[in-house]
Amino acid sequence: MSFPRPTTGLIVRNTGSWYQVLTREGETVDCKVKGNFRLRGIRSTNPVAVGDHVELSLAGDGTGLITEIRDRKNYVIRKASNLSKQSHILAANVDLSLLLVTVSRPETSTTFVDRFLASAEAYAIPVVLLFNKVDELTAEEAEKLALLTTLYSGIGYRCLHISALTGAGTEELHQLIKGKVSLLSGHSGVGKSTLLNTLLPGTGQKTAPISEIHQSGMHTTTFSEMFPLPGGGYLIDTPGIKGFGTFDFDKGEVGHYFPEIFRTSADCRFSNCTHRNEPGCAVLKAVEEGHIGLSRYASYLSILDDETEGKYR
């Protein structure tokens, strides 16, 4: 007769109903979540996420039961795509977030980028913007890339220009992710699977062409998974995201997650200024004078309106 054996481990894969856990003994075990586990903590479609450190009991048949999550240092979260009041955790205990974006084929909107950045700021997770497919740009698209790079690097975000297909520009990226737990995220079709194959040859991630009708990508990754890096650390691949709904933001703190708005707000006449139409608003003045990007200000306003209008991007 075999008895449950307690141990600890790291969630390395989430397939929806099962979680793969790398135990401290070096085994990879398929696990379920304890039945009453979902009642604890925040309301989430996935109470356990890739990157979580957990406690589990190993059964005699080689499977396990996750009984507890260790305290998280952070997590990347968004509103669940079914417009419910639940959240979806992309990954936990992340050192660095890599947002892969494309100027065209498909176009990544600045609203999507800004929402992702604001959520990362809320949990103090550094973000590097990876502008992919730079080898395919027209002259007009290259000009747009230059403007976006100036905008985001001016705020303080690191921007890299890469081609996941050819590997151009990925040398610096290799050094950035070495020894870290990094999350790779972005829309479907921006080249996440191609980049993963370039950074980690042998993973064999499926890739798919872009829809010519809608200029959008088709999902090739259907679950989140952590891949060990040769120099230490992990790279977390996630399914492509269509929209990024912010979750549980206090309206009075939204401006804190836009670094340039937060810095400028120190000069507002009122300490509780919402930067909409108050007199003496330094942020509105900075927008009018071009010191704060109009697209960034529009993204800030859209997050303020999320709760009342049920918006989701």
DSSP, residue by residue, 244-272: ----S--GGGGGGGSHHHHHHHTTSSSTT
| Tokens found for residue 47 | 């109470």
Q: Which residue has the higher pLDDT, 15 or 235?
A: 235
95 Cβ contact list (under 8 Å, min separation 6): 125, 126, 180, 181, 182, 233
> Please, what is the average pLDDT of the chain?
85
The predicted structure's pLDDT at residue 133: 96
Whether the predicted pLDDT of 222 surpasses 70: no
Whether the predicted pLDDT of 82 surpasses 80: no
Q: How confident is the model at residue 39 (pLDDT cuts 50, 70, 90)?
A: very low
The predicted structure's pLDDT at residue 41: 53
Q: 140-149: list long-range contacts, CB under 8 Å, 24+ apart.
A: 141/103, 141/104, 144/103, 145/103, 148/103, 148/110
* Orientation angle between helical segments 139-155 and 294-304, nearest 10 degrees: 70
Query: Among 177, 196, 197, which residue's Cα sits nearest to residue 186?
Result: 196
* Orientation angle between helical segments 294-304 and 110-122, nearest 10 degrees: 60
291 and 259 in contact (C-beta within 8 Å)? no
Whether the predicted pLDDT of 137 surpasses 60: yes
Whether the predicted pLDDT of 213 surpasses 50: no
Q: How confident is the model at residue 306 (pLDDT cuts 50, 70, 90)?
A: confident
> Which position has the token pair 């080249």?
191
Average pLDDT over residues 58-70: 91
Whether the predicted pLDDT of 68 surpasses 60: yes
Whether the predicted pLDDT of 215 surpasses 80: no
Terminal alpha carbon distance of the chain: 53
**Greatest distance between any 2 Cα atoms in the chain:** 75
Backbone φ and ψ for 271, nearest 5 degrees, come out as -70, -25
Torsion over CA: 298, 128, 43, 251 (sign): negative
Whether the predicted pLDDT of 313 surpasses 70: no
The architecture (CATH level 2) of 251-309 comes to Orthogonal Bundle (1.10)
Instruction: Look up residue 241 and give its DSSP letter.
Output: -
| Tokens found for residue 152 | 């985001």
Average pLDDT over residues 75-96: 74
CATH 2.40.50.140 domain position(s) in the chain:
5-69
The percentage of the chain sitting over the pLDDT mark of 70, rounded to a whole number, equals 81
Torsion over CA: 105, 109, 112, 114 (sign): positive
Q: Determine the 3-state secondary structure of 165 from DSSP.
A: coil
The architecture (CATH level 2) of 75-237 comes to 3-Layer(aba) Sandwich (3.40)
Q: How confident is the model at residue 208 (pLDDT cuts 50, 70, 90)?
A: very low
CA distance 206 to 220: 6
The percentage of the chain sitting over the pLDDT mark of 90, rounded to a whole number, equals 65
Average pLDDT over residues 201-217: 50
The predicted structure's pLDDT at residue 44: 63
The architecture (CATH level 2) of 5-69 comes to Beta Barrel (2.40)
Classify 3 in phi/psi space as left (phi over 0), alpha (psi -120 to 50) or beta: beta
Cβ-count burial 142-166 (b if 16+ within 10 Å, e if not): eeebeebbebbeebebebbbbbbbe
CATH 3.40.50.300 domain position(s) in the chain:
75-237
Whether the predicted pLDDT of 206 surpasses 80: no
